[in-house]
Structure 1
Amino acid sequence: MELFEKTDDWEKKLAPILKKYKGRKHPLDYKNIYQLMIMVILSAQDSDANINSIAPALFESFPNMKSLASSSVEELIPHISKVRNYSTKANWIIEIAQTIKDDKKIPLTMETLTDLKGIGRKSANVIMREAGVPPEGIIADLHVIRVAPRIGLIQESKDGNKVEKQLMQVLPKSIWGEIGMAFSFLGREICRPKPKCEECPLNDICMYYKLHHQN
């Protein structure tokens, strides 16, 4: 499959989804950046819906970074025991809380976020996007990993970091902050494993659509 060249045309070609999903809040139902950070860590290899279901009770017990920092793994685990890999995640979260100590000190750059246990580039990109800081990358979650190659934008890969790197090479920086979540929402709603191509606002530029739906 040929790749499109890096061009500002992509901003125009992808405008329908950039407009449709612009500024839409992430599906994790967080109230502030502290909550988002903890929920993003918990959501790795788990569903947003599951994390949303445990969040109210979790944050009632641990309303801020300070309360987590003075807690322990043993105290945290009962609140997150329904989460996948909860024991490992509990260790990461307590270590982060004891490092940061205060909500106001939550870092918001790629380097400082990815220095923390349990936060990779994808998680850092999500936190930075929701915090409204300038993007240093593109969110590449499992939906983006499915959607971007289908469109014909990049080569297929199961590796989120490789997908992100390819996207950064072909897309103008002006859309980095929003395009990852736009692809993600498209993947959740329309470009599902069994895609609803007829409903897709990008079917006029999509390689998958051309291959499967046009004579």
Structure 2
Amino acid sequence: MTAKKATPKTPAKKSNLNAALAKPPKSIAKPKDTFNPKRDLAPERVAEILKRLAATYPNAECALHHRNAWELLVATILSAQCTDVRVNMVTPELFRQFPTPKAMTEASQPVLEELIRSTGFYRNKAKSILGAAKKITNDFDGKVPRTLAELTTVPGAARKTANVVLGVAYGLAEGIVVDTHVLRISRRLHLTKATEPKNVEQDLVKIIPQDHWIAYSHEIIHHGRQICIARKPKCADCTLETVCTSGDKTWSSGKTWPEQ
């Protein structure tokens, strides 16, 4: 008698359970991106946002390397349309040759341009740095001003740059630094509907306590670089997800603060 051939068993399909558990569920319906001042600007909600940011980024600080207010001012001017990493590669040699505003006034434009060329827009930046050095040397006894009104008279020190220097170098909160990350995320969180940095700052200083002004910018900048990026924000990893009602959300837990 001929033995029947055993029918080969179809290999069992691997379970996708572990993979499913490892990933957050797919996005559910996005919230309507509508601004509700009573809800969005409520002190309790703002306080919750600040608390979560502080807990998530306890060591957030300025990424530009500097030893004093002058170095920070120059580094901030160089950071326009340039990464902090690149600026930090350029400034050591720059400050070795020209460590003070007085020393910088003696630099020639071509020499300065060559030193900062890799940061981009080097001609305009060199002009601003030389102008700042002369202004600070001649009008402020070689010391970077400690008030917003005075600092914004220095070439290259527009309001954002001035707020960076005052907050980081001197610990003075005269305003809130509004860069591209702060503008984008503050709008996504419905803390403002403004589109111009100056107007965004005006809205933020009304609802954020002054003792949080400096930290808020540092924390939001870190958040914008790591999580709340311009395209396809990483909402599944976001500490603010349940307090955010942005139409840009790529994922939702289905929970909302404070009902969560």
TM-score, structure 2 normalization: 0.74
Q: Are positions 1:139 and 2:173 aligned together?
A: no
Over 3 Å counting, the alpha-carbon distance change for 1:14 and 1:192 in structure 2 is: same
**Aligned partners of 2:190 and 2:181: how far apart in 1?**
15
Report the alpha carbon displacement of residue 9 of structure 1 after superposing the two structures with TM.
5.2
When Rg is computed on C-alpha atoms for both structures, the one with the higher figure is 2
Q: Are positions 1:176 and 2:210 aligned together?
A: no
Q: Are positions 1:213 and 2:252 aligned together?
A: yes
Segments of 4+ moved more than 3 angstroms = 209-212
Equivalent pairs counted in the alignment come to 214
Paired residues of 1:77 and 1:87 also in contact (CA < 8 A): yes
Q: Are positions 1:2 and 2:2 aligned together?
A: no
Over 3 Å counting, the alpha-carbon distance change for 1:22 and 1:116 in structure 2 is: farther
**Aligned partners of 2:218 and 2:203: how far apart in 1?**
16
Over 3 Å counting, the alpha-carbon distance change for 1:6 and 1:109 in structure 2 is: farther
Report the alpha carbon displacement of residue 94 of structure 1 after superposing the two structures with TM.
0.9
| Paired residue secondary structure (2:60) | coil
Name the counterpart of 2:64.
28
List gaps (5 residues or longer) in structure 2: 1-34, 255-260
Paired residues of 2:86 and 2:119 also in contact (CA < 8 A): yes
**Aligned partners of 1:51 and 1:35: how far apart in 2?**
11
Over 3 Å counting, the alpha-carbon distance change for 1:130 and 1:60 in structure 2 is: same
Report the alpha carbon displacement of residue 6 of structure 1 after superposing the two structures with TM.
5.8
Pairing of 1:144-163 with structure 2 (within 5 A): 144-155=182-193, 157=195, 159-163=196-200
Name the counterpart of 1:107.
145
**Aligned partners of 1:109 and 1:20: how far apart in 2?**
31
List gaps (5 residues or longer) in structure 1: none
Report the alpha carbon displacement of residue 29 of structure 1 after superposing the two structures with TM.
2.1
| Paired residue secondary structure (1:115) | coil
TM-score, structure 1 normalization: 0.88
Name the counterpart of 2:242.
204
RMSD between aligned residues: 2.3
**Aligned partners of 1:150 and 1:204: how far apart in 2?**
13
Report the alpha carbon displacement of residue 34 of structure 1 after superposing the two structures with TM.
1.7
**Aligned partners of 2:89 and 2:252: how far apart in 1?**
39
Paired residues of 1:140 and 1:180 also in contact (CA < 8 A): yes
